[in-house]
Amino acid sequence: MGHNGADKIRVLVVDDSALMSRQITSILGEDSSIEVVGRAKDGLEALTMVKELQPDVVTMDVEMPRMNGITALKHIMVKHSVPTVMISALTKEGAKTTFDALKFGAIDVIAKPSRREDENLEAQKTDIISKVKRAAAIRTGRSRYIRMSASLARDEKISKGLPDSNTRFIAIGAGTGGYYGLLRIIPGLPAEFSDVLIAVILVASKYVEPFVSYLDAHSVIPVRTVSGPFIPERGACYVCSGDYLLGMENSHGALGVSAVQRTESEASINHFFNSLAETLSSRAIGVVMTGAGEDGAEGLASVRSAGGAAVVQDINNCMDPSMPIAALEKGTLAKVLPDYMMVDYLTKARAAEKN
């Protein structure tokens, strides 16, 4: 359940450093809509205080005595499902600990505030406050812990061959909060998945490779990084940075995907969705997920107009609902789903087609 917005957002701060705990409390206290209702010094104490105080949001450190933040997070997700934001020196973008935290249910991750010369403390304060407020607004599922499929080693993931006339192409566009959303979809796809999934996430290229490595290690289907043109295979997933423009190519009956560097004025999700619609029409499925801005709205409308399916993430389930809102405001007839229901929709829709 998300915070109703009528009362102050009640936050529990968890950190073994008294200095950092006070600093985070002070930062949150600068916003009149937030109230820190308690401070715990380790994960074990946090579990007791979550039960007693019933906060709207928890901020959680990772490395702590008695019980670390990741273990505490697992317990919170299973027992209470309270939106949790990890604030740690270990949770920087692209770090394994960051993806672990998201996998086990953290709404978002933030590096600890720092006064280093290259760090803007005011920007960090704004980031912490905004992410806590966003976390409070998100509607949680029954449990945010990701139940992942048992993974296979890379060399055990058998290719299903090139796409045929029955292969669907699922295109996902995501921005802010996209790591979280894709972690709820890609590792949940079953071994019998036989379509092609291509995701464009609006982050810098340098962060995509570690994210894909993490996804591949936790998935039964192959997950690959896109950094140039490629020939897609059935039953595989491809993840591309928004730094690239993808396009479908159909040469003598063989489908390929082009990839060129994006210029600043071009919208990478719209570009790919438009190309997908033009090339594949009814075999295309466009999915617009959490993110800032309007990228994907125009392209999703193109997919739908061409006879393909359109899916938009439920705005109450988004870290940033701007992209889904823009897609819906286009008047596109789309299926609206929270991230944790998308795997069922994509796989059951395919199963229904076969019966």
Q: Quick one: pLDDT at residue 155?
A: 56
**Which position has the token pair 């715990």?**
40
- How high is the pLDDT of residue 232? 94
- Within 8 A by CB and 6+ apart from 287, the residues are 170, 171, 172, 173, 310, 311, 312, 313, 342
Name the average pLDDT for the chain.
Answer: 88
pLDDT tens, position by position, 231-276: 999 999 999 999 999 999 987 778 899 999 888 778 999 999 999 9
| pLDDT per residue as tens digits for the range 111-170 | 887 766 456 778 888 999 999 999 998 876 544 555 555 555 555 677 788 888 889 999
Domains detected in the chain: 9-137 (3.40.50.2300), 154-354 (3.40.50.180)
Q: Is the pLDDT of residue 2 over 80?
A: no
Mention every residue, 6+ apart, whose C-beta is less than 8 A from residue 265. none
| Cβ contact 226:265 at 8 Å | no
pTM for the whole structure: 0.84
* Contact (Cβ atoms closer than 8 angstroms) between residue 105 and residue 77: yes
